[in-house]
């Protein structure tokens, strides 16, 4: 993120591959994150309850898409990296059944002896993202008792849990893209560098604050 080239030797410097969709998933996730923020920023002062409810539903829809496509992005990226550097057959036979977090630890270690810091902000955000993704993909409804005196607290906690997952989605993508520059170098960053010295990036105004905070965290960690 400082504009300085970091090179880590890999078995392969380039390859031709098909169906590598992580860059598209990233764009969709970022767009949906911004869409959610835009809906949440809507002035509801003149709306009736039905309109507010519909707005809440739309925000939730965008939030779900941001979480799901963020998780698809991180899994697609590390799978592509494994196939590129270790071979598709090896990756499928020996690595395919690892959970996503484990893949981000194990696969770079196998490739070049380096790995993500499990105590760092990127790995932490990744864990929250995967937890949120699993709760959505393996969704289970729960019985609700309207007479429960703790009903308000229960509903507020549910909203807060979703908010944590949503906020972790884009944060995980930014932090992984930034931290992996230092771990594996810009050339072999599985999810793609965000260093403007090596690529063109377009950060929407609505999420520049998140981007700047993530950048500050990573620069502090590797200063």
pLDDT value of residue 214: 97
* Residue that is written with structure tokens 């169906």 in the block: 19
Using one digit for the tens of pLDDT, what is the confidence trace for 150-172? 988 988 898 999 999 999 999 99
For residues 104 and 77, give the distance between their C-alpha atoms in angstroms, rounded to a whole number. 10
pTM: 0.94
Lowest average pLDDT, out of 41-45, 104-108, 171-175, goes to: 41-45
Going by pLDDT thresholds of 50, 70 and 90, the confidence category of residue 144 is confident
For residues 135 and 137, give the distance between their C-alpha atoms in angstroms, rounded to a whole number. 6
In sequence order, which residues have a C-beta less than 8 Å from that of residue 6 and are 6 or more positions away? 181, 182, 185, 186
pLDDT value of residue 51: 94
Domain boundaries, the chain: 22-221
**8 A C-beta contact, residue 32 and residue 69:** yes
For the beta carbon of residue 196, count every other beta carbon within 10 angstroms.
11
Q: Is the pLDDT of residue 1 over 90?
A: no
Mean pLDDT (the chain) is 95
For residues 22 and 158, give the distance between their C-alpha atoms in angstroms, rounded to a whole number. 29
Q: How far is CA 95 from CA 43, 99, 108, in A?
A: 48, 9, 12
Going by pLDDT thresholds of 50, 70 and 90, the confidence category of residue 110 is very high
Going by pLDDT thresholds of 50, 70 and 90, the confidence category of residue 85 is very high
Going by pLDDT thresholds of 50, 70 and 90, the confidence category of residue 88 is very high
Using one digit for the tens of pLDDT, what is the confidence trace for 24-47? 999 999 999 999 999 999 999 989
In sequence order, which residues have a C-beta less than 8 Å from that of residue 4 and are 6 or more positions away? 197
Going by pLDDT thresholds of 50, 70 and 90, the confidence category of residue 2 is confident
């Amino acid at each position: 993120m400082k504009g300085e080239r970091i090179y880590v030797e890999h078995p392969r410097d380039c390859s031709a591959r098909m169906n590598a969709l992580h860059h598209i998933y990233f764009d969709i996730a970022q767009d949906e994150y911004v869409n959610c923020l835009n809906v949440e920023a809507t002035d509801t002062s003149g709306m009736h309850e039905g309109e507010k409810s519909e707005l809440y539903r739309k925000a939730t829809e965008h939030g779900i898409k941001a979480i799901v496509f963020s998780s698809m992005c991180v899994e697609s990226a590390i799978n592509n990296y494994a196939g590129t550097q270790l071979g598709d057959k090896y990756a499928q036979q020996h690595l395919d059944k690892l959970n996503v977090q484990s893949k981000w630890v194990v696969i770079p270690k196998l490739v070049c002896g380096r790995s993500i810091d499990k105590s760092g902000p990127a790995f932490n955000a990744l864990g929250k993202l995967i937890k949120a993704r699993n709760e959505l993909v393996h969704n289970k409804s729960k019985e609700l008792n309207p007479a429960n005196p703790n009903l308000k607290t229960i509903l507020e906690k549910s909203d807060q849990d979703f908010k944590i997952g949503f906020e972790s989605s884009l944060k995980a993508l930014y932090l992984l893209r930034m931290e992996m520059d230092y771990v594996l170098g810009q050339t072999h960053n599985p999810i793609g560098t965000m260093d403007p010295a090596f690529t063109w990036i377009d950060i929407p105004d609505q999420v520049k604050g998140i981007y700047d905070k993530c950048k500050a965290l990573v620069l502090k960690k590797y200063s």
